[in-house]
Amino acid sequence: MVNSKCLPLLMKEFEARTPRSRQVADRARRVLPGGETRSITFYPPYPASITKAAGAVITDVDGNSYLDILNNYTALVHGHAFPPVVEAARAAASEGVVYPAPHEAQLDLAEHLIARHAVAQQIRFTNSGTEATLLAMRTAQAVTGRDRFILFEGGYHGSAPLITGPHPQVTRVPFNDPAAVEEVLDDTIAAVLIEPCLGVGGVIAAEPEFIQTLRDMTYKVGALLVIDEVQTLRASYGGATELYEVDADLVVMAKLIGGGYPTGVMGGRASHLRVLDQATPGAIKHSGTFNGHLVSARAGLVALEHLTQPAIDRMNASAEKLANRIEVSGRTNGVPVIVTRFGSMLHVHLQDHEPANAGQVTPDPTAVSALHLALLLEGVFAAPRGLVALSTVLTDDQLDSVAAGYERAFARMTAH
């Protein structure tokens, strides 16, 4: 049972250990709304300010070190300052960084992604997953002549108004609920967008039959199926699309494909992407000053070349081991814990039932905050909401230390 008094005590201990982070937070509030520029990274009383990182270890301005099991929300699949990526980025920067014309680095990365992902016969570069999603939606509109979309509750496809909140062109339905989709899917829908595994929604995997039903239903009404692989590409060499064997129309990728640098990709069938070909009458105008950025392209290619199937298998096995140990530690300390997993991504749910959709994620927010602060005090850096995303560089010894950190964190939460 979680002690209701533990959170104030944990905050007090955190503040005592991070006085310089408090100073950074106070400075940040003077120039940044709320003291941050990325909402998801905020947590009370203030975030630890990170000053350096290497491999699986990050260090804050107070000199506290943490084992990083978040890796910038799945983006750093090889951890921090991965030497081959650093070398590639340094070499690319010396070549001029960005050009007002195509360059071969774009082609190298594009060819790798097309060979790797079954949906991507051609690709278009953007600067982020948000931009890639919006481009996929514009492409779907151009291909179908329709302007409405279906998204899933608990899904996250970026930060633009069209895909974040209520919007007249968007209908949201429960995840893993084919009947709910069927009720709203008609010949006005341009595309259905789905993450094979809800990331923000709690690392909840789509049921295989649900994905296939979506494919069948979208075919029937002439809508496109868009697979969002921004986070799930790490699950297998060909991403979650390979695992589900789904024949989608478009795919969105970002995060790890840039090797830690900003980038995004929208890919799909060549027949669909023809609407972006400027030699085609009425083609979509799509530009971006930094699309296909040289450093991102070179770093991303190296990161992907090192993300082999054996490397993915090792990450996934480590994640399975960690998930099991976290659940055991929770039970041992009387804390209700369910860990959902998709490849090397985990979500630690402080509840006693496994969720099938985002609506079934119902933890006590106070307990979630307490676990996060307790982990920081034990030298483990996870997402405030409970997300974990492992890297290829986390060693077996470090994994054991993370598991032990969770056990001690649960003990802190229940101490009287």
Q: Is 405 helix (H, G, I), strand (E, B) or coil?
A: helix
Instruction: Kindly report the pTM of this predicted structure.
Output: 0.96
Q: Is residue 265 within 8 Å of residue 252, measured between CB atoms?
A: yes
Question: What does the block give as tokens for 71?
Answer: 């890796």
Question: DSSP code of 38?
Answer: S
Q: How far apart are CA 209 and CA 140, in angstroms?
A: 24
Q: Is residue 306 within 8 Å of residue 100, measured between CB atoms?
A: no
How far is residue 152 CA from its own chain's centroid? 16
Question: What does the block give as tokens for 322?
Answer: 């960690």
Q: How far apart are CA 147 and CA 168, in angstroms?
A: 10
Task: Mark 376-397 as b/e (b = at least 16 C-beta within 10 Å).
Answer: bbbbbbbbbbbbbbbbbbbeee
Q: How far apart are CA 99 and CA 286, in angstroms?
A: 17
Q: How far apart are CA 111 and CA 398, in angstroms?
A: 35
Question: What pairing do the DSSP bridges indicate for beta strands 224-228 and 189-194?
Answer: parallel
Backbone angles phi, psi at 230, to 5 degrees: -55, -40
Q: What angle do CA 143, 144, 147 make, to 5 degrees?
A: 110
pLDDT at position 416: 59
Q: What is the pLDDT of residues 105-115, one digit of tens each?
A: 999 999 999 99
Q: How far apart are CA 251 and CA 123, in angstroms?
A: 9
pLDDT at position 5: 86
Q: Residue 138 to residues 135, 198, 273: CA-CA distances in angstroms?
A: 5, 23, 11
Q: How long a stretch of residues is the chain?
A: 416
Q: What is the pLDDT of residues 277-294, one digit of tens each?
A: 999 999 999 999 999 999
Of 272, 276, 285, 279, the C-alpha closest to 144 is 272
pLDDT at position 10: 96
Beta bridge partners of 50: 60
Q: How far apart are CA 392 and CA 100, in angstroms?
A: 35
Query: Which domains are assigned to the chain?
Result: 6-77+308-414 (3.90.1150.10), 84-306 (3.40.640.10)
pLDDT at position 165: 87
Residue whose token pair is 């949906």: 119
**Cα dihedral 34→47→159→291 (10° resolution):** 110
pLDDT at position 3: 79
Question: What pairing do the DSSP bridges indicate for beta strands 148-152 and 122-126?
Answer: unpaired
Question: What does the block give as tokens for 411?
Answer: 């003990």
Of 266, 280, 231, 290, the C-alpha closest to 110 is 266
Q: Is residue 154 within 8 Å of residue 173, measured between CB atoms?
A: no
DSSP-derived secondary structure for 238-299? THHHHHHT---SEEEEEGGGGTTS--EEEEE-HHHHGGG-TTSTT------TTTT-HHHHHH
Q: Is residue 133 within 8 Å of residue 155, measured between CB atoms?
A: no
Q: Residue 194, CB half-sphere, CA atoms under 13 Å: how many? A: 31
Question: What pairing do the DSSP bridges indicate for beta strands 338-342 and 250-254?
Answer: unpaired
Instruction: Specify the DSSP element, H or E, that contains 389.
Output: strand 387-389
How far is residue 174 CA from its own chain's centroid? 20
Question: What does the block give as tokens for 314?
Answer: 């090792």
Lateral strand order in the sheet of 345-349: 338-342, 345-349, 387-389
pLDDT in tens, the chain (416 residues): 787 789 999 999 999 999 999 999 999 999 999 999 999 999 999 999 999 999 999 999 999 999 999 999 999 999 999 999 999 999 999 999 899 999 999 999 999 999 999 999 999 999 999 999 999 999 999 999 999 999 999 999 999 999 998 999 999 999 999 999 999 999 999 999 999 999 999 999 999 999 999 999 999 999 999 999 999 999 999 999 999 999 999 999 999 999 999 999 999 999 999 999 999 999 999 999 999 999 999 999 999 999 999 999 999 999 999 999 999 999 999 999 999 999 999 999 999 999 999 999 999 999 999 999 999 999 999 999 999 999 999 999 999 999 999 999 999 999 85
